[in-house]
Amino acid sequence: MPADAKRVHVARIGAPHGVRGDVKLWSFTQDPAAIADYAPLETQDGVRQFEIETMRATKDFFVVRFKGIADRDAAERLTNVDLYVPRERLPETDDDTEFYIADLIGLAALDKNGAPLGIVIAIHNFGAGDIIELQPGDTSATVMVPFTDAIVPEVDVANGRIVIDPPEGLF
C-alpha cells in the first residue's frame, strides 16, 4: 500500500464559526455524521490530532469544537486543514462495488478494449457528481471523466485498474 493510502481523507476544516473556537467542518464520509466515530482525526502527516468535543449539523456542514481550540484565533489557524484517519480505523468495504476514493488513486485506466488511457490522479465532486481526473501518459494535460456506471463500467481495485467507455472525442 502506498504511503499516502495509509491515511484516508475524511474531512476539511473551514472558517471559524463564532468566537469560542468553533469551526465549520465538511465531512467526506458516506454517513457525514460518522466522522465523529473515527476520532482522533489527524493531519495528513499524522503530526496533529483533533478530537471532536461538540458537533452539530447545519444545512451544508457541521459546526465543530475541537478539544484544545478555545477561541477564534486558534480556530482561524485551522482553516482549510484537511483531516485524515488511518486506514485501519475505517470499516472494510463489503464487496467489489464499494471502495474508498483513496483506493482509486494510482489505478490504471483502460478503455473497454484494454488500451491504456492513463492513471487516476484524483476524484473530484464539484456538485454535479463525481469526476475522475486522469493523467494520460503522453501529455501533461489531464482529462476529466464523469464517474458514472455508463462511462466507468468496471472498477477493479484488486487488479489495479478501472475500465472507461469514454464518450466520442473525449480522448
Q: Indicate if 60 and 9 belong to the same structural domain.
A: yes
| Average pLDDT of the residues of the chain | 89
Q: In this structure, what CATH number is given to the domain that contains residue 14? A: 2.40.30.60
**φ, ψ dihedrals at 97, nearest 5°:** -95, 0
Alpha carbon separation from 88 to 5, 7, 53, 69, 92 (Å, rounded): 11, 9, 23, 27, 9
Q: In this structure, what CATH number is given to the domain that contains residue 133? A: 2.30.30.240
Q: Please state the length of the chain.
A: 171
Q: Containing domain of residue 106, as a range?
A: 101-164
**Number of compact structural domains in the chain:** 2
Q: Could you report the per-residue pLDDT of 52-106, keeping only the tens digit for each?
A: 999 999 998 999 999 999 999 999 999 999 999 998 888 887 766 778 888 899 9
Give the C-alpha separation, 13 to 27, whole Å: 9
**Is the full-model pTM beyond 0.85?**
no
Q: Indicate if 105 and 133 belong to the same structural domain.
A: yes
95, part of any domain: no
With 50 as the cut, is the pLDDT of residue 132 above it? yes
Element (H, E) at 144: strand 143-146
Burial class (CB in 10 A: 0-12, 13-18, 19+), 149: exposed
